[in-house]
Amino acid sequence: MATAPDSARARPRFGSRARAFWARVTEGLEIEQLWGQFKSEARATYGLYSRDVDWEAIGREPRRWRRPFLIAWALFQAMLMKLSPARRVLLLIAVLCLLLQMQIGGGRNGGGITLDSSWLGTLILFVLLALELADRVTMKRDLEIAREIQQWLVPAQPPAVAGIDMAFATRPQNTVAGDYYDAFMRPATSGDANARSLLVVVADVAGKSVPAALLMATFQASLRALSATPASLDEIVAGLNSYCRAHSLDGRRFTTAFLAEIDPATRAMRYVNAGHNAPVLRRASGAIERLEIGGPPFGLPLFTETEIPYPSGSMQLHPGDLLFIFTDGVAEAVSESGDEYTEARLIACLQSAATGSAAEILNRVMTDVNGFAGYARQHDDITCLALRVS
């Protein structure tokens, strides 16, 4: 029999273990954060299932009192059809067991063991949860491997270029992304064998997750192969468009991109915007310029025999200038109330960040986007590249 001091020591040990278990389960999140995360996930899940509901047919139901039941039944069917046939049957059995509350077992004259069917229904639901979690874990592991491979395709650090400070950040909507960013030195087209220029690129493949990530990888390989030669920026753009058109599934998987080539010695820059969000160039004076010159996204099908032209823009960069390139996931980030972040808010944030390194400005923008979105689930990949001239 435990003495009083032993019992007193046991209670704190149990309490510390319970706190450690709770911290492990919640990953240190507060109740408010957990509730916000749950609401965000619940809204996204409802959106997934509600897409399969025939809302027009439900709206035509003349008896309004039946509509909630029709909605519930439609949502249940949408969830049911997401499962494999065997798991659909198990889910139906579980629901029946929970609804009917039958007595299972027993013997004559009341002997034997009697089991409420709700326990069987709960057990089946637990088994279904375990099966779905196993699938999710397996898929997550495969996606993590794909993410590691994708991270090899983009630079971990920007190249060291005198007078140019760069930083980039990316956050996929899922584990892998269709966004791509890069910055590297390549042979210049001046004719000098030792001359090098800086090529900066941000691209966004239409779509999300694995399909977009696979096409992003092929885009990166094509760009690197073309850039390894003394080809001009115009020739690189034409080659990328031809390659993307051959692999765009009749234009369904097009790619928007912004490419800029900078002469490190003179700071002269040429660029092409292929249907991408126009980057923001904030001059040292505070003036804002948008870099829009170019053409449509890469990979769109040709409707004539004439190749799509991609004119290029030219400008001179000066000390204090900031070039900010971003994908549409930034401007279209959605808050919990359904509002979009917008490019106007992004420009205002960049205007307020008059000083600081490229990394500091990038961190300020990402913090502003995160604060605006709150607990809302991310709807698209987010990628930014900041380049500051000193």
The predicted-structure confidence for 198-207, as pLDDT tens digits, reads as follows: 999 999 988 7
Average the pLDDT over 298-316 and give the result: 81
Amino acid at residue number 334: V
Where do the domains of the chain lie?
28-148, 155-389
pLDDT band at 304 (very low <50, low <70, confident <90, very high): low
- Pair type for strands 268-274 and 294-295: parallel
Q: Which two tokens stand for residue 79?
A: 């969830």
- Which of 60, 53, 58 lies closest to 74 in space, CA to CA? 53
Q: Which two tokens stand for residue 178?
A: 């269709």
pLDDT band at 148 (very low <50, low <70, confident <90, very high): confident
Region of poorest pLDDT, from 27-41, 106-120, 236-250, 314-328? 106-120
Calculate the alpha carbon distances from 109 to 106, 112, 113 in Å. 9, 9, 12
The pLDDT value recorded for residue 244 is: 87
**Higher pLDDT, residue 92 or 189:** 92
pLDDT band at 9 (very low <50, low <70, confident <90, very high): low
CA–CA dist 50, 79 (Å, integer): 10
**Higher pLDDT, residue 258 or 108:** 258
Average the pLDDT over 60-64 and give the result: 89
CATH number assigned to the domain with residue range 155-389, chosen from the 4 options 3.40.50.10210, 1.10.10.10, 3.60.40.10, 3.30.360.10:
3.60.40.10
The pLDDT value recorded for residue 149 is: 79
CA–CA dist 167, 159 (Å, integer): 10
CA–CA dist 183, 259 (Å, integer): 10
Query: Taking the model in full, what pTM does it have?
Result: 0.75
Sign (positive or negative) of CA dihedral 173, 178, 181, 184: positive
The pLDDT value recorded for residue 92 is: 92
What phi, psi does 334 have (nearest 5°)?
-110, 140
CA–CA dist 291, 286 (Å, integer): 16
Say if residue 209's pLDDT is above 90: no
Task: Give residue-wise pLDDT tens across range 107-131.
Answer: 555 555 556 788 888 999 999 999 9
Where helices occur in the chain by DSSP H, the ranges are 4-26, 31-50, 55-59, 67-80, 85-100, 117-152, 209-227, 233-246, 328-331, 343-352, 358-373
CA–CA dist 364, 359 (Å, integer): 9
Find the angle CA(239)-CA(205)-CA(139) to the nearest 5 degrees. 130
CA 213 to chain centre: 11
Radius of gyration of the chain (CA): 28
pLDDT band at 29 (very low <50, low <70, confident <90, very high): confident
